[in-house]
Structure 1
Amino acid sequence: MKFSGTDSYVATEDLMVAVNAAVALERPLLVKGEPGTGKTELAQQVARGLGLPIIEWNVKSTTRAQQGLYEYDAVSRLRDSQLGDPRVEDVGNYIRKGKLWEAFTAPGKVVLLIDEIDKADIEFPNDLLQELDRMEFHVYETGETIRAINRPVVIITSNNEKELPDAFLRRCFFHYIRFPDPETLRRIVEVHHPGIKGALLSAALTQFYEIRETPGLKKKPSTSEVLDWLKLLLAEDLDPAELKRDGASALPKLHGALLKNEQDVHLFERLAFMARRGSR
């Protein structure tokens, strides 16, 4: 079982090595990187490349680890008991299976995505240590133990918003998705916008990397944002010459696809103002 990318996902050599190492070690793959570098998409493409179904657990700030295992709906059971519902005799009727339960009891091997784990409380990763390590957990209400029939391929993503506990990190294979170099980004663009004219692509990518490297930028534009920007450039049928910036307008064309806060917009406006003053 080897992952080598797909026709719609450009995987670098080091990324393929990381995925295959995690699969061979049967360890969760912890993937970090800038937002928009394709961490969530990686899990979906690994599932596609390995021919496996995917189960996605999208973590939020209010998500608790227990929800990934199961939840016991005691309120519904109490209500049904007051109404004389015979279902109350079986506590299993009030157990809601979580994503880990689904992955553990799936009829075949699956990819389990735990997306943006750093959004949750700091104790969230620690609360899943034993379950992800032993691939089993106990259901106290029914007295049963749920064990993985087939150990899932676990991919965990993080935007690095908070540090993860060392005990959790020790149980993972780690990979940081670096921002793609120009050649890799060109290949990514070709997958999403096949047949794009070379002159337009070269001009756009040159300007894109110049924007990313601008000192003082609060949020650097990501891979997903440059793909959106190129889609707009193609829709507007812009000529490479029209992308050129001058002292009068340091903002790139259709900059709303690349610059996502007023601070960065003001930064480029100030650069334009300084360039105009310097040319007098």
Structure 2
Amino acid sequence: MKFEGTKDYVATGDLTVAVNAAIALERPLLVKGEPGTGKTELARQVAGALGVPILEWTVKSTTKAQQGLYEYDAVSRLRDSQLGEERVHDVANYIRKGMLWQAFEAEERVVLLIDEIDKADIEFPNDLLQELDRMEFHVYETGETIRAKHRPIVIITSNNEKELPDAFLRRCFFHYIRFPEPDVMAAIVEVHFPGIKQSLMREALTQFYDIRETPGLKKKPSTSEALDWLKLLLVEDLDPEDLKRDGKDALPKLHGALLKNEQDVHLFERLAFMARRKDG
């Protein structure tokens, strides 16, 4: 199995090397990067390129590692016992399989995405160490051991909201998706909007990178926001000239696709005000 990118996903050379290295080492691939740089989509594209199913486990602040293995519904079993239900005699009826269990018992190799692992409690990654290492876990309620029929390709994403434990990091192959350079971004745009006018794309991307580099910006727009903005520009059938800004009009056209909080909008309004005062 070798990943070489897809027609729908522009993968840089170092990213494809990282994916294939993780597969060869049989280690989880830990992918970090700014939100909106395609970390989650990478897992989907790897699955598509390799022709294997994908299981997606989206982590939240309340998610516990045990949920990835299984959950035992003791409350339902107690209720059924009070009602005299026959199924109560088999504890397996009250075991809900988690994503790791589903990946382990799959009849073919799968991609297992553990998305945004840094949102969970700091102990969450450590609680998965043994299961990801040994590719097995014990179900105490039934006494059975679940072993992986085929070792899944594990891709873990993180937005760097908190540091991950060293013991966990040692077991992963790490890759940081850098924010795309303009030439890579242009290739990404071409994938999503084939045949886009080059003059419009050049002007739009010039403005986009200028906005990202504006000092004092609280939230830099991401790749996904750039694509949303370009989609709106195409829907509105705007020309490069329509996008031109001077100092007196610092806000970009349809800026709501790029600036996502009032502080950043006010920043550009202040820049415009200062430019008007200077010219006045």
1:193: which partner in 2?
Answer: 193
Q: How does 1:120-199 map to 2 (within 5 A)?
A: 120-199=120-199
* Counterpart Cα distance in 2 of 1:245 and 1:264: 17
1:219: which partner in 2?
Answer: 219
For the residue of structure 1 that corresponds to 2:52, the secondary structure is coil
1:270: which partner in 2?
Answer: 270
Q: Quick one: which amino acid aligns to residue 189 of structure 2?
A: V
For the residue of structure 1 that corresponds to 2:220, the secondary structure is coil
Q: How does 1:255-266 map to 2 (within 5 A)?
A: 255-266=255-266
1:81: which partner in 2?
Answer: 81
Residue 277 of structure 1, CA deviation:
1.2
For the residue of structure 2 that corresponds to 1:82, the secondary structure is helix
Residue deviations 1:223-244 (CA, integer Å, cap 9, x gap) = 0000000000000111101101
* Counterpart Cα distance in 1 of 2:239 and 2:7: 29
* Counterpart Cα distance in 1 of 2:136 and 2:216: 48
* Counterpart Cα distance in 2 of 1:85 and 1:268: 66
Residue deviations 1:198-248 (CA, integer Å, cap 9, x gap) = 000000000100000001100000000000000000001111011011122
Residue 137 of structure 1, CA deviation:
0.4
Q: Quick one: which amino acid aligns to residue 256 of structure 1?
A: G
* Counterpart Cα distance in 1 of 2:144 and 2:204: 58
Q: Quick one: which amino acid aligns to residue 205 of structure 1?
A: L
Computed over aligned residues only, the root mean square deviation of the Cα atoms, in angstroms, reads: 0.5
Q: How does 1:15-94 map to 2 (within 5 A)?
A: 15-94=15-94
* Counterpart Cα distance in 1 of 2:239 and 2:86: 71
* Counterpart Cα distance in 2 of 1:242 and 1:94: 61
* Counterpart Cα distance in 2 of 1:207 and 1:116: 30
Residue deviations 1:119-157 (CA, integer Å, cap 9, x gap) = 111110010010011110000000000000000000000
1:238: which partner in 2?
Answer: 238
* Structure 1: gaps of 5 or more residues: none
Q: How does 1:245-256 map to 2 (within 5 A)?
A: 245-256=245-256
* Counterpart Cα distance in 1 of 2:82 and 2:212: 62
* Counterpart Cα distance in 2 of 1:133 and 1:244: 55
For the residue of structure 2 that corresponds to 1:131, the secondary structure is helix
2:210: which partner in 1?
Answer: 210
* Counterpart Cα distance in 2 of 1:212 and 1:4: 30
* Counterpart Cα distance in 2 of 1:73 and 1:6: 42
Residue deviations 1:14-54 (CA, integer Å, cap 9, x gap) = 00000000000000000000000000000000000111100
Q: Quick one: which amino acid aligns to residue 44 of structure 2?
A: Q
TM-score (norm 2): 0.99
* Counterpart Cα distance in 2 of 1:230 and 1:193: 9
Residue deviations 1:39-86 (CA, integer Å, cap 9, x gap) = 000000000011110000000111110000000001111111111111
Q: How does 1:98-109 map to 2 (within 5 A)?
A: 98-109=98-109
For the residue of structure 2 that corresponds to 1:264, the secondary structure is helix
Percent of aligned positions with the same letter in both sequences?
A: 83
* Counterpart Cα distance in 2 of 1:166 and 1:41: 26
Residue 185 of structure 1, CA deviation:
0.4
Q: Quick one: which amino acid aligns to residue 12 of structure 1?
A: T
For the residue of structure 2 that corresponds to 1:233, the secondary structure is helix
* Counterpart Cα distance in 2 of 1:11 and 1:254: 29
For the residue of structure 2 that corresponds to 1:207, the secondary structure is helix
For the residue of structure 1 that corresponds to 2:57, the secondary structure is strand
* Counterpart Cα distance in 2 of 1:53 and 1:172: 22
For the residue of structure 2 that corresponds to 1:15, the secondary structure is helix
* Counterpart Cα distance in 1 of 2:90 and 2:32: 43
Residue 104 of structure 1, CA deviation:
0.3
* Counterpart Cα distance in 1 of 2:153 and 2:229: 34
Q: Quick one: which amino acid aligns to residue 124 of structure 1?
A: F
Q: Quick one: which amino acid aligns to residue 220 of structure 1?
A: K
Number of residue pairs matched by the alignment: 280
